[in-house]
Structure 1
């Protein structure tokens, strides 16, 4: 198999490295001068010359729509993985993905703790859920100035709501589509960014009457955890420490940073689509982000219509 990776920032470089570890011949599409053996300056050239069967889109979030639209308009029929979120805003007109297999890079679905939780929750009555994720933005990529990253620039698809939309995806993956929600958020800190650094959401979903979510760019401890209360058990999943608790009994999962990305690529390549985020589900997350931002603006509840 041959693959091309569009965009060669930090996440693009990770995708290239992991694809090569799977013995997939890989090329890069980048308009910048990059240190890689096979580089094309545009997508058309890469497809015509390199003839890939798999494309990974990892350019800036605000460039995703144009990239996907180009592939579809030129009858691309191979596999495609688009980094999350699918688009920077809800712009889906004139896109028909039926001719190809497009997936969205919500790789946390492949984390063994979340897979274990999904299995354990099967058939259980869920009473309430608390989800918390926070990390201090300047520590994400300490080798570079955080103000120059896309995360700091809402116009490029940054801001905590899009950057940490993993939480929105696995909430709906585990607990069903959202029914109604209310949110508060904004730029509350001294970080030099143009978007929100903190967002809190209360929501009802198909499987849970109460979910509380907070995501932020500010937590110096770096945490990603959720607590699920059912009639029989209280589950606590800590994705940073790798610990999973059910009523006090704990289990440790040792997972390196590449594992979920690697499993995601394997799933796409091997046609094992059940745990992948589909194009339609990716659109649902983009729309959910829009509704959360609307709730922040109106300071009230919104329904999923």
Structure 2
């Protein structure tokens, strides 16, 4: 198995490490001198020299559109995984004739999410809340948070995009969004140009009241959800790896690589699951744009 990784930051390094552990041959296109894998000067050169089974785009979000176009321009028709979010804002991109394109919303593959998805199947959801928060300077100890992608608006950073896993979970578990309103922006003393807090209220096809809160400000780590459906109450805690089902606790064994491994296995056909498709990833981007517009205009925005 041959894989090309474009961009070797922290997430590109994780993908490369996990792929190499399966015995895959990994090639990278990157300017990172610390990359230990074979490197190619360009995407075109790499594709001309190897028959890749998978291409992973893991550079800064603002580069995703052009990088995807470069990959497709080579005539490559294999599988492509684009790191989340798909784009920094909605773009019209022709993928006609391309192979399958996926977006790396790996939180779908957490076992408590898989369990929740199965429990919700066929049920009417009544209301739900999702939340995630962690103090940005604590994310990567030993690094300057002000220089990271998350802190830089021009690179596609900010909670609305950086923590959009929660938005994908809402759409995947509760249906496409129909309306959204939001409050968000840069509210703290963090030395960043990106947004540090966002709160969304939305309606989806299967749930008429969904709230989502995302922030870079929480001391400690907080991530989870509460969903009330017909004859069912679910409380998920990603930090404790537990799911309360009508008050009964279920626990799940995971490590930092669990969801990434499961996502790769699903992509390569050796494991179960539903990776986020290009269309689903584009819907998350549309929701991000809608939430920003709603916050700026102080009104509800309807999906187009």
Shorter-chain TM-score bucket reads: over 0.9
Q: Are the counterparts in 2 of residues 178 and 205 from structure 1 also a CA contact under 8 Å? A: yes
Cα distance in structure 2, aligned partners of 1:151 and 1:91:
21
Offset of residue 33 of structure 1: 2.3
Query: What do the CA deviations read for 1:41-70 (whole angstroms, capped 9, x no partner)?
Result: 211111122332211111111111001011
Judging changes above 3 Å, is the alpha-carbon distance between structure 1 residues 37 and 229 closer, same or farther for their aligned structure 2 residues?
Answer: closer
In structure 2, what is the equivalent of residue 150 of structure 1? 149
Offset of residue 73 of structure 1: 2.2
Offset of residue 191 of structure 1: 0.5
In structure 2, what is the equivalent of residue 77 of structure 1? 77
Offset of residue 273 of structure 1: 8.0
Query: What do the CA deviations read for 1:159-192 (whole angstroms, capped 9, x no partner)?
Result: 1100001011010000000111110001111001
In structure 2, what is the equivalent of residue 260 of structure 1? 259
Q: Are the counterparts in 2 of residues 97 and 279 from structure 1 also a CA contact under 8 Å? A: no
- TM-score calculated relative to the size of structure 2: 0.97
Q: Which runs of 4+ in 1 moved over 2 A?
A: 31-35, 271-274
- How do 1:1-305 residues align onto structure 2 when only pairs under 5 Å count? 1-93=1-93, 95-270=94-269, 275-305=274-304
Q: Please report the RMSD computed on the Cα atoms of aligned residues, expressed in angstroms.
A: 1.3
Offset of residue 132 of structure 1: 0.9
Q: For 2:49, what is the secondary structure of its paired residue?
A: helix
Cα distance in structure 2, aligned partners of 1:223 and 1:11:
21
Q: Are the counterparts in 2 of residues 72 and 97 from structure 1 also a CA contact under 8 Å? A: no
Query: What do the CA deviations read for 1:3-61 (whole angstroms, capped 9, x no partner)?
Result: 01111111111000000111111111112323414111211111122332211111111
Stretch moving more, 139-148 or 45-54:
45-54
Cα distance in structure 2, aligned partners of 1:283 and 1:260:
21
Cα distance in structure 2, aligned partners of 1:280 and 1:35:
32
Q: Are the counterparts in 2 of residues 198 and 217 from structure 1 also a CA contact under 8 Å? A: yes
Cα distance in structure 1, aligned partners of 2:97 and 2:120:
32
- TM-score calculated relative to the size of structure 1: 0.96
Where structure 1 has 5 or more consecutive residues not aligned to the other structure, the ranges are none
Stretch moving more, 111-120 or 27-36:
27-36
Offset of residue 271 of structure 1: 7.3
Q: For 2:181, what is the secondary structure of its paired residue?
A: strand
